Amino acid sequence: MCGIVGYTGKKQAYPIILKGLKRLEYRGYDSSGVALLKNGILNVYKKKGKVVELEESLLGETLEATIGIGHTRWATHGEPSDKNAHPHTSANGNIAMIHNGIIENYALIKSDLLKKGYSFKSETDTEVLLNFIEDIQKNNNCSIEEALRIALKRVTGAYCILLIEKNNPDTIIAARKGSPLVIGIGKGEHFLASDASPIIEYTKEVVYVNDYELAIVKPDELILKNLGNETITPYITKLDMELAAIEKGGYEHFMLKEIFEQPSTIFDCLRGRLNSKESLIKMSGVDDNIEQILKADRILIIACGTSWHAGLVAEYIIEELCRIPVEVEYASEFRYRNPIVNKGDVIIAISQSGETADTLVALEKAKENGAFIFGVVNAVGSSIARISNAGAYTHAGPEIGVASTKAFTGQLVVLMMTALVVARHKKSISEDRYNALLVELEQVPEKVEAILKNADQIKTIAEKYKTANDFLFLGRGYNFPIALEGALKLKEISYIHAEGYPAAEMKHGPIALVDESLPVVFIATKDPYHEKIISNMQEIKARKGKIISIISEGDTISPDLSNDYFCIPIADELIAPLLTVIPLQLLSYYVGIAKGIDVDKPRNLAKSVTVE
């Protein structure tokens, strides 16, 4: 949440920062701002709304400077407004600062500062931290770096901060704890950002800053220190990402591009790992730790949002194939209750961004208790990837649309392959079943391709139901989590209230909502309980609900019961979620655009939730 960008070098900073903010807008878009430093003068510009509104407000301004910082905000403390937008400036006007995270003990610090005569221009915790730094600097007559170090030892919460100071003409000082920071190393220039997307265009050499580290960044110099003022050697990594991956590539929205990329992202996820002809799945993260996994009494899955839904599908798959008990937990609940985690417990952490604060902290807690963390992560080099003992990347490439699509199918593929490897070692799966599932997995990219060819059918359905106030999504077995995911996607992207339910459980409540105005989406592919879901359809039809069904090719019963239906290729029930989710992603997308919603940046949401 919140995107931050910084530049110090010889080029003009503003265009680089502006472009970077646009790339990071998925992290929040309540307001944005930049601070530019030139000849000892600090100019700060900020604006409520999306980055483009800041850009428009600055047309015609002379924005020359070779050092600057910029921020795009997802509001926590204080409403979205010009005054709460970052950068903030300290009381004496000498320092400008941007912040991603939350300073939890800000109220206490603020009351001390108020007593000392400080006043505040905004309602943010960031301005409190900034004036705290200024106050320490004043009282100790020390450098800003020293003041920052002292301040950070006294604050609780999460932060990635960048600050520039009038008296430091070419230096950006940065620090992180809990919120990500990447530094790009150019020739006589440095780039700082929340992720690599603003950097990739200029350099592929980056340093991922760790928690409790401070960076002093000048055009020709990068110094990393810990909070104890000891110097740390920066570890330079090469980015494995192309610029094209973070651009729209001719699509109207990132979300649509990412939905349509799934045949290739799923293929990339399988590539080099699965070979059905040789009956082989190679996953070093699983193979190298197989003993650890096999001796686990149970597996805990921890995630949030869409990733949590992938966890629910994995629960069904792992229990079925591996016969190991699985529990799926919301990270935000897990971290605050008193869960039982023992040494040797296996935890699967699922996260697209690898930065979700609740998931990260839950894992830190479990790791302290001796759990073994297996990360299923999309963002390479992210915090969750780094905290994991082992893992497997989903290889879906950068996901920019706020609603997760291709990362979800990547997670399902990785989790499925993981379960197959474990099951084979455990001998809880027959060779025939194992081989059949390998063949089915290999066919997924072409089946997804076939579904996408019929996207227009979903567009027509979306047009028909776009004015509904509520939707119900129902599924059984492996498709129950997909019902939850379909409902979540629709809420996120179209602002229509939607509920996902197990189809049979619907009788215990949601059925009361059914009337002729309620669209009910059934995910009713051919599986062992197909007849049961047909009965559930009858129950809805009898109450005049409008049935939209996602069914298997060749199903002759469901079309008669449905007002609208969409066919997907035949697949094993374990594989079906990878296919059934695609039309639901498209449905939310097309309803969203039919309603004129900015589907890549729906209101109030952010992609990388780095606050709890």
Q: Is 119 left (phi over 0), alpha (psi -120 to 50) or beta?
A: beta
| CB 491, min distance to ligand G6P, A | 11
- Judged by CB under 6 A, which of 293, 299, 304, 581 binds ligand G6P? 304
Residue 66 or 356 with smaller CB distance to ligand G6P: 356
Is 536 a residue that touches ligand G6P (CB under 6 A)?
Answer: no
| CB 456, min distance to ligand G6P, A | 26
Instruction: Please provide the DSSP assignment of 346-406 as one string.
Output: EEEEEESSS--HHHHHHHHHHHHTTPEEEEEESSTT-HHHHH-SEEEE-------SSS-SH
| CB 360, min distance to ligand G6P, A | 9
- Judged by CB under 6 A, which of 96, 283, 402, 474 binds ligand G6P? 402
The first and second tokens of residue 41, run together, are 């003068």
Beta strand 67-73 with 3-8: parallel, antiparallel or unpaired?
antiparallel
Least Cα distance to 389 among 286, 272, 312 occurs for 286
| CB 394, min distance to ligand G6P, A | 10
Is 305 a residue that touches ligand G6P (CB under 6 A)?
Answer: yes
| CB 333, min distance to ligand G6P, A | 14
Residue 307 or 536 with smaller CB distance to ligand G6P: 307
- Which residues does the annotation mark as catalytic? 2, 607
Are 300 and 346 spatial neighbours (Cβ–Cβ below 8 Å)? yes
- Judged by CB under 6 A, which of 353, 479, 552, 585 binds ligand G6P? 353
| CB 338, min distance to ligand G6P, A | 23
Residue 190 or 489 with smaller CB distance to ligand G6P: 489
Residue identified by tokens 């003009």 is: 12
Cα–Cα distance for residue pair 293/428, rounded to 1 Å: 14
CA 511 to chain centre: 33
Q: Which stretch binds ligand G6P (CB under 6 A): 276-284, 314-322, 399-407, 430-438?
A: 399-407
Residue 96 or 269 with smaller CB distance to ligand G6P: 269
Cα–Cα distance for residue pair 338/326, rounded to 1 Å: 18
3-state class (DSSP) for residue 314: helix
SS3 sequence, 28-72? CCCEEEEEEEECCEEEEEEEECCHHHHHHHCCCCCCCCCEEEEEE
Cα–Cα distance for residue pair 161/191, rounded to 1 Å: 14
Residue identified by tokens 């600097």 is: 137
Q: Which stretch binds ligand G6P (CB under 6 A): 162-170, 269-277, 352-360, 511-519?
A: 352-360
Cα–Cα distance for residue pair 386/394, rounded to 1 Å: 15
Q: Which stretch binds ligand G6P (CB under 6 A): 43-51, 191-199, 311-319, 348-356?
A: 348-356
CA torsion 12-14-16-21 (nearest 10°) is 170
Is 351 a residue that touches ligand G6P (CB under 6 A)?
Answer: yes
| CB 67, min distance to ligand G6P, A | 31
Are 375 and 362 spatial neighbours (Cβ–Cβ below 8 Å)? no
Least Cα distance to 410 among 377, 457, 451 occurs for 377
Are 553 and 565 spatial neighbours (Cβ–Cβ below 8 Å)? no
| CB 382, min distance to ligand G6P, A | 9
Are 329 and 494 spatial neighbours (Cβ–Cβ below 8 Å)? no
Cα–Cα distance for residue pair 552/527, rounded to 1 Å: 9
- 288 CB contacts (<8 Å, ≥6 apart)? 390
The first and second tokens of residue 507, run together, are 């009788």
3-state class (DSSP) for residue 374: strand
- Judged by CB under 6 A, which of 32, 90, 100, 352 binds ligand G6P? 352
3-state class (DSSP) for residue 182: strand
Binding residues for ligand G6P restricted to 356-395, rule: CB under 6 A: 356, 359
Binding residues for ligand G6P restricted to 572-611, rule: CB under 6 A: 605, 607, 609
| CB 331, min distance to ligand G6P, A | 8
Residue 131 or 404 with smaller CB distance to ligand G6P: 404
Cα–Cα distance for residue pair 26/609, rounded to 1 Å: 10
Is 403 a residue that touches ligand G6P (CB under 6 A)?
Answer: yes
| CB 359, min distance to ligand G6P, A | 5
Residue 400 or 403 with smaller CB distance to ligand G6P: 403
Q: Which stretch binds ligand G6P (CB under 6 A): 239-247, 396-404, 508-516, 546-554?
A: 396-404
Cα–Cα distance for residue pair 372/339, rounded to 1 Å: 15
Nearest residue to ligand G6P, using CB? Answer: 305
Residue 100 or 536 with smaller CB distance to ligand G6P: 100
Residue 245 or 534 with smaller CB distance to ligand G6P: 245
- Judged by CB under 6 A, which of 8, 100, 307, 332 binds ligand G6P? 307
Residue 9 or 180 with smaller CB distance to ligand G6P: 180
- Judged by CB under 6 A, which of 122, 194, 306, 525 binds ligand G6P? 306
Which letter does DSSP use for residue 371 in this model? Answer: P
Are 254 and 401 spatial neighbours (Cβ–Cβ below 8 Å)? yes
Q: How many residues bind ligand G6P (CB under 6 A)?
A: 15
Is 51 a residue that touches ligand G6P (CB under 6 A)?
Answer: no
Cα–Cα distance for residue pair 190/213, rounded to 1 Å: 17
Is 8 a residue that touches ligand G6P (CB under 6 A)?
Answer: no
Q: Which stretch binds ligand G6P (CB under 6 A): 61-69, 176-184, 398-406, 559-567?
A: 398-406
Cα–Cα distance for residue pair 74/3, rounded to 1 Å: 8
Residue 72 or 404 with smaller CB distance to ligand G6P: 404
Edge-first strand listing for the sheet containing 231-232: 88-89, 95-103, 157-165, 172-177, 213-218, 221-226, 231-232
Per-residue contact string for residues 131-170; x = within reach of ligand G6P by CB under 6 A: ----------------------------------------
For ligand G6P, the binding residues (CB under 6 A) are 304-307, 351-353, 356, 359, 402-404, 605, 607, 609
